[in-house]
Structure 1
Amino acid sequence: MVERKQQLVRDKVSRLVNWGHWFALFNGFLALIVGSRYLDTVGLPESALGWGYLLLASIGQFAFLAFLVYLLTLFPLTLLLPYAKILRGLGAAVATLGLCVLLYDTIIYDDYGVHLSPFAFDVAWADLHALLRGTSYIVTPVAILALELTAANFLWKRMAKLERLGIGSKVATLVGSFFIASHLIHIWGDASAVKDITRYDDAYPLFYPATARSFMESHGLDSGRDVPAEMPEQVINYPLAPLSCSRDTNTAAVNSQPNTQRQPNVLIVAIDGLRADMVNAQTMPFLASFSQNSQRFEKHLSGGNQFYSGMFSLMYGLQGSYIGSNDFKNISPVLGQSFKAAGYQLKRFGPKSNEASPRPLATFKDFDSSLMDDSVSRALADIQSREAFERWRAGQTGPWFTVLNLGAPDTYDTPVGFVGIETILAPAGMAPAERVLFNQYRQSLNFIDGELQKLLGNHGSEAMADTLIIVTGVSGKAFTSSSSEASRDLSPQTVRVPLFIHWPNGDKGSVNYSTSHHGIAPTLMTKVLGCTNPITDYSAGRQLLLPSEQPWVYVGDNRFFAIYQEDEITLIDRHGKYDVYDASFEHRLDKKLSAPDLIQVMREGRRLYRH
């Protein structure tokens, strides 16, 4: 009799487990319907291959999510409380909660571009009234619960028929094969850079498709790839409105002879790895002296810690969340477009190796390029770049706009035979290897200082008297030889850079409010070209000559970034994990992020996308 009862209990549990599997499959189908809302944000595939991958990945992922919820909630309860009525009610409640969370996540993703996480939840909670509009947030859960109760009872009553059909294992195998196949296809798509596949990498919650890099690393191979992920495929509306520029209105403001209305030349000297705290009379005496005759921005930040992100913020004036957009492979910065339209000759000089950086391909689309081979020596390439610029400038008869990129400090390089400056005691707290790099870095900066003196030492001469000169760092520098470590370091040493502007009219002085690379393009557009559009039409809404109304600066790319504020620094990755540090980056703070400011950050990062 006891064995008979035990067998009945086992049969009942087995039937409930089977019911749970079918119920999870049904909710995977509902999740697939709700999850289709993500495609409104990400966009639809453009090829049959993309559609095939998306179908496999979507079915596999949402079936996986539904089964995961079942495995973590209903399955343990089935063993503890094998009562059909209780489990059907609990199952309907759990499924309703899960679908509501998924639905809420689609709203969060559409508004902020991230999935639910501690970071996103804090931001969304502060903005809850704007996200949940009308009465749908009350009606929808009730409707879902009614549907779930109906489905739970329907499946239970037909379990015997489903068991007789014997198709459960076949359905499970089919769905499982979809899940595996999507990952295998993604490995190939990632290795082959098929954008119609990789564009969906961040589309779904808890979706971590296998990549060629992870596959090779798991087999002991080095993929050699370290490229920022692309943003979901959306159309960029940049600029937001046609630009209205008239150089005559502002030429006098930057020219030493306002009556001539002469168009000033513009020279941007952008130095890779130039830290603000290293510009001093001991290491860079010429630049320190040059800064005293220029406008000095004492609290300046680059928009990134790498060449591609720092240069993106400088040229486009946009925060790095836009870096992954495919549109910026073809849309050049309005800064270059506008100078070209105003009759300027555009030219850039620099090391050829920066071409391999994963920056948007159109950053210098409007410029003629003269790039130097730096495979042997970056310092030698810098000398060649300076000399090439001076020869080119001597032959110009009209106004010109030049970006001169010097790169030696980023690789601690100096020319063969260079006799620099004496080593000094490194700051306290540095490891032995860092102390060595610190002094080698100083030697490289001293070499660059000499090149700047040759380039700008005659800035008072007739050849340079009508030139607006900007000297800044593309990014700062962390003393490490590990590229992966440097790429994730967003501390002040990697993003605080000097910015000196030598105006033709002689304006100089110290600017003590916070500024960033995002303000360089708007300042040139308004002061040199006389553009009258609102700055928000084409940039992050900052400028250099007035304090920004935004109490934060976005630093980084679209995968890993930091929010710099007056008293704290918040580091955030693409999965929503965040840490808050004090302003010196020396102590991690036990506090939550500032949700109101982060709401502005997230919206600024999606403002230029067409919905």
Structure 2
Amino acid sequence: MEKRHFIAHGYFTLWVLLLSLIPLASYWWVMPTPDSLHGQLYLISSLGYYGLLLTIAALVFSPLASTAWTRPLYVLLLTLWLLYLLIDAATFNLYLFHVDWIMLEMFVMDFEGLGLPNAVIFAAIAVAIMVGAGCWWLSRKAYHITTQHALRAQPLFWVAGAMLILFAVNSSLNIWADKYHRQEVSYIAPYLPVYRPATSSKHAATLARMLPSLLPATYGTMDRAAIQEKSVVRYPLEPLQCEAPSQPSSIILLVVESWQAAALNPEVMPNVTRFSQKATRFEQHISGGSATIPGLFSLFYGLHASYYPAFRATPAANPSEFTETLTDQGVDVRAFTNSNLDRFSMRRLIFPRMPNSHFYHAKTDAAVVNQFVQQHQQTTTKPHFDFVFLTSSHSPYKYPEDFARFTPLPSVKGGYAFNKQADSTPYKNDYHNSLFYVDYLLGKILDQLEKSGALENSWVIVTGDHAEEFNENDAGFWGHGSNFTRWQTHTPLLVHAPGQKVARHEHKASSHQDIVPTLMQEALGCKTAREAYSTGANLFDLPNNRSLVMSSYYNNAYWIEGTVLDRSTGKQYAWGDIKNTRPVLDKTKLHQLQDEERRFFKDTESRALLSGKH
């Protein structure tokens, strides 16, 4: 390769790094301003992290600079980098979570489900074209200037050296902050995209000894465990002892997508409200998280949703003990949904032994319900477990025109993306119309169960995977997956026991993870202590005080008696009001919850591997 080609390659990379500062600055804009020297230095030195990433990329892909045919590949690579930053910055500014691999997969596989208006799509395409054209022009300009003016390589080495120094400073600060729980530094990391800073407990003490004035060996005020992303689990802790009852009951689990608890009322959902008159209604029910995957995981495992990444890594070895017990007892296990459960390993985790003939997949909720009713009419006296998942109430909220009961409606679906403080009325009307339609479909199922006499010998559970927010806290949050307040995690739960005739109300806090141990004990005759396979409680014997773990797309949070502690940001707020950032948090119960969360890890070595301190 000619030297001038390498130099031009380097200058093009440098210019892209400078362009990267534009979207990166938007993260700094939304994050709380560092109020300490450590925080300010950490934020500034984070530039070295991204600078080093691009420097490494330039070195690794330097062979592409050798020919005119391969240079466009490097231009494309850096164009994708800039586009990722722009997309992630826009997403983070709106929802306060980063785009990761799962989100990109959803973007490709379920674009409509994200609820983005067409205007955003066209704008994104236009931006992509402009960024690509701009990068191509910069690449050509770099080669032209280098040829015409003989630019020297020395400034590039100075920049690379500066990036390395900044990276070393940033890594040292993060190692120290991680070891000594320094919240004034650690709170910054979750705001930065594709950011995986270095941690090393064994080097933290060395840094503290070398720089005692700058990095003192003193602990911060926040006591929090490291976020676990991968683990080796031991589940269950002991073999389950379950004996099928002499007269087994069927179980029907009806799950509604994005179902806010406040929407269960006679005006929006008359059929389900009528059904609640012969069921137990849990007034303070909390999902396993603010997104579908943690909601369904906690629902079928009876575990804190933070276990999901570890279980997903080895789904064949750790299927749901609930559905395994159902199958072992000869119960027909069936699923009815228009959602592809193959994604995110959910089907392998929840229904590993379900034959394809028992997985009823349709394109619409109406077809799903029709399939259920048809199959139920043909069902014999053999006990069965039916999972029905209806998704019309997921943004962009689908329903026939005849169900547009609530008006006015938004002129542009998802228009709040342009104004986070927009009037929520039309958007919530649109959402309520979809629930009105879902209620009609659920009514068909409930009518079938009642007419067939199935309610006399069936457990019927009706709940949501999570809730849906419409800026109720005036904090600019919409949809789900962006926080852990009641507006995104408080979903209805109705439980009808076999033969139940009268309504009951439970006001103690319940959770998705309570459903599995309840059914295991009450319906499947399991005598093994629920702590061996679940972190939940029996719904009919709930504790007075409650601690839970909830999850989202990318992070987890602790819920302790109405106080939320976000494990990624360290942010603490009241479950009912995200603006109340100083609620009391019982640290003793926090530690107990942390111990409970580690219950199904195999051993200390596995936990160390999970946290990256190995």
Decide whether the 8 Å contact of 2:256 with 2:391 is kept in 1: yes
Equivalent residue runs for 1:299-338 within 5 Å: 299-325=284-310, 326-330=312-316, 331-338=318-325
CA distance change for structure 1 residues 454 and 588 in 2, over 3 Å: closer, same or farther? same
Which of 320, 323, 327 does residue 340 from structure 1 map onto?
327
1:313 Cα deviation after fit: 0.5
Tell me the amino acid that sits aligned with residue 445 of structure 1.
L
* Matched residue, 2:425: 435
The reply on whether 1:284 has 2:269 as its aligned counterpart is: yes
1:310 Cα deviation after fit: 0.2
CA distance change for structure 1 residues 456 and 606 in 2, over 3 Å: closer, same or farther? same
- Percent identity, aligned pairs only, is 21
1:324 Cα deviation after fit: 0.8
Decide whether the 8 Å contact of 2:469 with 2:479 is kept in 1: no
CA displacement 1:517-569 (0-9 Å, x = unmatched): 01000000000011011111001042211122652121115842232233433
* Matched residue, 1:588: 580
How many Å separate the matches in 1 of 2:200 and 2:536? Answer: 31
The reply on whether 1:370 has 2:359 as its aligned counterpart is: yes
Which of 391, 395, 402 does residue 378 from structure 2 map onto?
395
* Matched residue, 1:512: 507
CA displacement 1:479-519 (0-9 Å, x = unmatched): 38x99973222221111011111111216411111100010
The reply on whether 1:472 has 2:457 as its aligned counterpart is: no
How many Å separate the matches in 1 of 2:166 and 2:288? Answer: 37
The reply on whether 1:569 has 2:552 as its aligned counterpart is: no
Tell me the amino acid that sits aligned with residue 385 of structure 1.
V
1:383 Cα deviation after fit: 0.8
Tell me the amino acid that sits aligned with residue 478 of structure 1.
E
Decide whether the 8 Å contact of 1:202 with 1:232 is kept in 2: no
* Matched residue, 1:25: none
How many Å separate the matches in 2 of 1:358 and 1:451? Answer: 28
* Matched residue, 1:163: none
* Matched residue, 1:497: 491
1:609 Cα deviation after fit: 0.7
1:365 Cα deviation after fit: 1.9
How many Å separate the matches in 2 of 1:281 and 1:67? Answer: 60
CA distance change for structure 1 residues 532 and 70 in 2, over 3 Å: closer, same or farther? closer
Q: TM-score, normalised by structure 1?
A: 0.57
1:460 Cα deviation after fit: 2.9
Equivalent residue runs for 1:93-242 within 5 Å: 105=179, 116-118=181-183, 204=200, 231=228, 233-242=230-239
* Matched residue, 2:34: none
How many Å separate the matches in 1 of 2:453 and 2:285? Answer: 29
SS in 2 for 1:268: strand
1:464 Cα deviation after fit: 1.6
How many Å separate the matches in 2 of 1:65 and 1:116? Answer: 22
The reply on whether 1:356 has 2:320 as its aligned counterpart is: no
Tell me the amino acid that sits aligned with residue 324 of structure 2.
Q
How many Å separate the matches in 1 of 2:338 and 2:486? Answer: 25
Q: TM-score, normalised by structure 2?
A: 0.57
CA distance change for structure 1 residues 408 and 206 in 2, over 3 Å: closer, same or farther? farther
1:121 Cα deviation after fit: 11
The reply on whether 1:521 has 2:516 as its aligned counterpart is: yes
How many Å separate the matches in 2 of 1:484 and 1:284? Answer: 22
1:578 Cα deviation after fit: 1.7
Decide whether the 8 Å contact of 2:251 with 2:458 is kept in 1: yes
The reply on whether 1:600 has 2:589 as its aligned counterpart is: no
The structure whose Rg is larger is 1
Which of 375, 382, 386 does residue 369 from structure 2 map onto?
386
SS in 1 for 2:309: coil
Tell me the amino acid that sits aligned with residue 538 of structure 1.
Y
How many Å separate the matches in 2 of 1:119 and 1:538? Answer: 38
The reply on whether 1:273 has 2:282 as its aligned counterpart is: no
Decide whether the 8 Å contact of 2:259 with 2:466 is kept in 1: yes
1:342 Cα deviation after fit: 0.7
1:298 Cα deviation after fit: 0.8
1:71 Cα deviation after fit: 9.0
How many Å separate the matches in 1 of 2:165 and 2:234? Answer: 36
How many Å separate the matches in 1 of 2:539 and 2:296? Answer: 17
1:119 Cα deviation after fit: 10
CA distance change for structure 1 residues 579 and 233 in 2, over 3 Å: closer, same or farther? closer
SS in 2 for 1:324: helix
CA displacement 1:333-384 (0-9 Å, x = unmatched): 100000111110001111134543575841232334535354xxxxxx1111
* Matched residue, 2:240: 243
How many Å separate the matches in 2 of 1:431 and 1:582? Answer: 21
Structure 1: 5+ residue stretches without partners: 1-62, 73-97, 106-114, 123-186, 191-197, 208-228, 249-260, 375-380
How many Å separate the matches in 2 of 1:435 and 1:117? Answer: 42
* Matched residue, 1:488: 482
1:282 Cα deviation after fit: 0.7
- Count residues with an aligned counterpart: 394
How many Å separate the matches in 1 of 2:171 and 2:247? Answer: 73
* Matched residue, 2:393: 409
How many Å separate the matches in 2 of 1:206 and 1:592? Answer: 33
Tell me the amino acid that sits aligned with residue 532 of structure 1.
K
CA displacement 1:224-272 (0-9 Å, x = unmatched): xxxxx99555321100000001122xxxxxxxxxxxx421110000111
CA RMSD of aligned residues (A): 3.9
How many Å separate the matches in 2 of 1:457 and 1:296? Answer: 19
SS in 2 for 1:404: strand
How many Å separate the matches in 2 of 1:230 and 1:364? Answer: 28
SS in 2 for 1:488: coil
Equivalent residue runs for 1:29-40 within 5 Å: none
How many Å separate the matches in 2 of 1:283 and 1:66? Answer: 54
CA distance change for structure 1 residues 565 and 70 in 2, over 3 Å: closer, same or farther? closer
CA distance change for structure 1 residues 270 and 312 in 2, over 3 Å: closer, same or farther? same
CA distance change for structure 1 residues 432 and 532 in 2, over 3 Å: closer, same or farther? same
